[in-house]
A and B are shown apart, each in its own frame.
Chain A
Amino acid sequence: MPKKEGDNRAPGQIPENERDYYLERRYPSFGNLVPRDVASRNAKYVCDEGRGVGDTKLAVYLDFADAIKRLGEDTIRDRYGNLFEMYQRITADDPYKVPMRIYPAVHYTMGGLWVDYNLMSTIPGLFVLGEANFSDHGANRLGASALMQGLADGYFVIPYTIGDYLASADLPKTSTEDAAFQTSENEIRDMTAKLLGIKGKKTVTEFHRELGMVMWDKVGMSRTKEGLEEAVGRIKELRKEFWENVRVPGNPSQLNKNLEFAGRVADFMELGELMARDALERNESCGGHFREEYQSAEGEAVRDDEQFTHVAAWEFTGAEQTPKRHTEALAFENVKLTQRSYK
């Protein structure tokens, strides 16, 4: 980063003593090898300070010059070639020559459907695997942990548990004549008709973006009580407006992705509010959840293991009803809970 705000020089033009290697400065022993949640939070902080680079001012530099000097371009190409290629497609910058401009992006919600030990959800026979379930999460959720869960669930768990379920469960034949099917079908028909019938002024995309902004600012990498309360209120308003003023074009009898998208954004608004509520309840900083009120003098996450060594699972109690929070205690047998430090 340039030290000064509003420094518009090209990265190569900024002399060494006018650069701020903020991760190396704050985390001397780990530098830019700190975990992603820490790196992401810090990237956002420096951009919030107004020191972001590029056209959007929402970016920090990731410079591979030293690494290329040390290991050679071929080694770097071998390790990151595909990522560099993707980056070049998007930005038209060559990351082998010019520092990359990076910024954290929402990638994953760090949560999912509650499942039992056999990966079965609260609906009998509905098994939830991989990222869709709640079971394996840490402070980060990318590459290695996603693969780990994919392998663990898909390779080691489900081949045993689903077979056991199919062998032992009584599974009577059901047809589309079943009352439950009729109810669901009618609900979907009603919702489709409702969405198409609003014929408001704002497009689904506009709502999606507004919701995204609220989530990003208030329910993202760094959260506060005030921000979360504001988010819950804002999402409620947005949801109300959505059901009064959304414009979904087309008709229900043909391929209509905008309609599908509208249904998804409606879901996102419920999920977004739930996430804000959950974050509001958890008065500690833990893993991907960082509450600014609960941090050490050094800016590290401070947990409250007394109160929160549990998983919170929320029960849906009906549309526009406050969901119910259930807790499931976490027991650690082989590891001791400690405070991490990257200083």
Chain B
Amino acid sequence: MSEMTLKLSVWRQENAADAGKMVDYTLPGVSEHMSFLEMLDVLNEKIIAEGGDPIEFDNDCREGICGMCSLVINGIAHGPEKRTATCQLHMRHFKDGDHITIEPFRAEGFPVIRDLTVDRSSFDRIIAAGGYVSVNTGNAPDANAVPVSKEAADKAMDAAACIGCGACVAACPNASAALFVGAKISQYALQPQGDPERARRAQRMVDQMDAEGFGACSNHAECEAVCPKGISIMNIARMRREYLKAIIS
């Protein structure tokens, strides 16, 4: 097992009101088998042992499926590996002596809470604005009562793979949430279950996205490149069609 020593520049910020700054750390004994978050765990243990306050960063499942982990690593959301969330990024992709810059996701819609932790509740409010379907109460409907074509189901599934991490916003030069909102609108727009609220959903979710202060999409497609689930910007185009249909109907 090869071990490396890393130089880390990490964004430290007491709270939302604090200006914050980059702080440098040197971390020896990093195993190539560690995930990026495990490496930060080791750094935090070291900081605590030295009497400091650990670096706050979001994480939960560490299996790449919950969407809690974030971080902009050397300028790239979720780091250098394609279709990989930070928790699934392993240190073997770095080498001894590397200098790694770690920053929080930056956007007006994602205010920093502390250090590398940002408040992503704006996404929850976008979902609350329209990311649901109405279901009649009473007996549960029979399975397969509503036919969905394989093609539509596959496309909806691809859109529904979004874990809501917000890397799209972090990577976008405009801090736009278009890929997230596009994916969420698409997963319902592609299936008959989403039809009753279809127009209202597109409109409300887009309006909420704008109200949260996210930027406009300029089609840089950087979002698709950093998305841990590789969600296509085709979903952004679909969002625009849905929105257009909604306002002219």
Assess whether B114 is in contact with A255, with CB atoms less than 8 Å apart.
yes
In angstroms, Cα B51 to Cα A250, docked, is 10
Q: How far is the CB of B95 from chain A (nearest CB, A)?
A: 14
Interchain CB contact (< 8 A) of A254 among B33, B44, B114: B114
> In the assembled complex, which residues on chain A have CB atoms less than 8 Å from the CB atom of B14?
254
Assess whether B117 is in contact with A255, with CB atoms less than 8 Å apart.
yes
Q: Would you list 21 pairs from A and B whose C-beta atoms are within 8 A, ordered by A residue? A: A55-B1, A55-B33, A86-B88, A89-B81, A89-B84, A89-B88, A90-B88, A90-B90, A163-B137, A205-B45, A247-B48, A249-B53, A250-B54, A254-B14, A254-B114, A255-B56, A255-B114, A255-B117, A256-B56, A257-B54, A258-B44
Mask: chain B, 35-73; 1 = CB below 8 Å from A; 0 = not: 100000100110011011110100000011000000000
Which interface residue of A55, A89, A254, A258 has the most chain B CB atoms within 10 A?
A89
In angstroms, Cα B84 to Cα A249, docked, is 31
> In the assembled complex, which residues on chain B have CB atoms less than 8 Å from the CB atom of A256?
56
Q: How far is the CB of B20 from chain A (nearest CB, A)?
A: 13
Q: Give chain B's interface residue range (CB within 8 Å of chain A).
A: 20 to 34
CB of B15 within 8 A of chain A? yes
Q: Which B-chain residue is minimally distant from A151 (CB atoms)?
A: B140
Assess whether B84 is in contact with A155, with CB atoms less than 8 Å apart.
no
In angstroms, Cα B114 to Cα A153, docked, is 37
Q: What is the count of residue pairs linking A and B with beta-carbon distances less than 8 angstroms?
A: 47
CB of A142 within 8 A of chain B? no
CB of A143 within 8 A of chain B? no
> In the assembled complex, which residues on chain A have CB atoms less than 8 Å from the CB atom of B33?
55
Q: How far is the CB of B108 from chain A (nearest CB, A)?
A: 20
Q: How far is the CB of B135 from chain A (nearest CB, A)?
A: 9
> In the assembled complex, which residues on chain B have CB atoms less than 8 Å from the CB atom of A90?
35, 88, 90
Q: How far is the CB of A21 from chain B (nearest CB, A)?
A: 27
CB within 8 Å of A: which B70-103 residues: 81, 84, 88-90, 92
In angstroms, Cα B81 to Cα A29, docked, is 43
CB of B163 within 8 A of chain A? no
> In the assembled complex, which residues on chain B have CB atoms less than 8 Å from the CB atom of A163?
137
> In the assembled complex, which residues on chain B have CB atoms less than 8 Å from the CB atom of A342?
none
Assess whether A89 is in contact with B90, with CB atoms less than 8 Å apart.
yes
Mask: chain A, 148-179; 1 = CB below 8 Å from B; 0 = not: 00000001100100010000000000000000
Assess whether A156 is in contact with B140, with CB atoms less than 8 Å apart.
yes
Which B residues form the contact surface with A (CB < 8 A)?
Answer: 1, 14-15, 33, 35, 41, 44-45, 48-49, 51-54, 56, 63-64, 81, 84, 88-90, 92, 113-114, 117, 137, 140
Assess whether A254 is in contact with B140, with CB atoms less than 8 Å apart.
no
CB within 8 Å of B: which A183-214 residues: 203, 205
Which A residues form the contact surface with B (CB < 8 A)?
Answer: 55, 86, 89-90, 92, 155-156, 159, 163, 203, 205, 247, 249-250, 254-258
**Given known contacts A203-B49, A205-B45, is B90 in contact with A257 (CB within 8 Å)?**
no
In angstroms, Cα B14 to Cα A163, docked, is 44
Assess whether A86 is in contact with B52, with CB atoms less than 8 Å apart.
no
The 9 closest A-B pairs by CB, nearest first: A255-B114, A89-B88, A250-B53, A249-B53, A203-B48, A255-B113, A249-B48, A155-B140, A255-B56
In angstroms, Cα B135 to Cα A159, docked, is 11
New A-B contacts (10) at CB < 8 Å, excluding given A89-B89, A249-B52, A258-B44: A89-B88, A92-B92, A156-B140, A203-B48, A205-B41, A205-B45, A249-B51, A255-B15, A257-B54, A257-B56
In angstroms, Cα B47 to Cα A247, docked, is 12
In angstroms, Cα B44 to Cα A86, docked, is 26
Q: How far is the CB of A324 from chain B (nearest CB, A)?
A: 34
> In the assembled complex, which residues on chain A have CB atoms less than 8 Å from the CB atom of B56?
255-257
In angstroms, Cα B14 to Cα A250, docked, is 11
Assess whether A86 is in contact with B64, with CB atoms less than 8 Å apart.
yes
In angstroms, Cα B40 to Cα A135, docked, is 38
Q: How far is the CB of B111 from chain A (nearest CB, A)?
A: 12
Q: Which B-chain residue is minimally distant from A204 (CB atoms)?
A: B48
Q: How far is the CB of B9 from chain A (nearest CB, A)?
A: 21
In angstroms, Cα B53 to Cα A86, docked, is 32
Which interface residue of A55, A163, A257 has the most chain B CB atoms within 10 A?
A257
In angstroms, Cα B35 to Cα A258, docked, is 19
Q: How far is the CB of B123 from chain A (nearest CB, A)?
A: 18
In angstroms, Cα B61 to Cα A86, docked, is 13
In angstroms, Cα B89 to Cα A254, docked, is 29
Assess whether A254 is in contact with B92, with CB atoms less than 8 Å apart.
no
Assess whether B137 is in contact with A159, with CB atoms less than 8 Å apart.
yes
Assess whether B63 is in contact with A86, with CB atoms less than 8 Å apart.
yes
In angstroms, Cα B49 to Cα A256, docked, is 16
**Given known contacts A86-B63, A258-B54, is B90 in contact with A92 (CB within 8 Å)?**
yes
Assess whether A254 is in contact with B15, with CB atoms less than 8 Å apart.
yes
In angstroms, Cα B211 to Cα A185, docked, is 35
Q: Which B-chain residue is minimally distant from A85 (CB atoms)?
A: B83
Q: Which B-chain residue is minimally distant from A92 (CB atoms)?
A: B92
Interchain CB contact (< 8 A) of B64 among A89, A156, A250: A89
> In the assembled complex, which residues on chain A have CB atoms less than 8 Å from the CB atom of B117?
255
> In the assembled complex, which residues on chain B have CB atoms less than 8 Å from the CB atom of A55?
1, 33
In angstroms, Cα B45 to Cα A314, docked, is 36
Q: Which A-chain residue is minimally distant from B161 (CB atoms)?
A: A82
> In the assembled complex, which residues on chain A have CB atoms less than 8 Å from the CB atom of B89?
89
Q: Which B-chain residue is minimally distant from A203 (CB atoms)?
A: B48
> In the assembled complex, which residues on chain B have CB atoms less than 8 Å from the CB atom of A257?
54, 56
Q: How far is the CB of B63 from chain A (nearest CB, A)?
A: 7
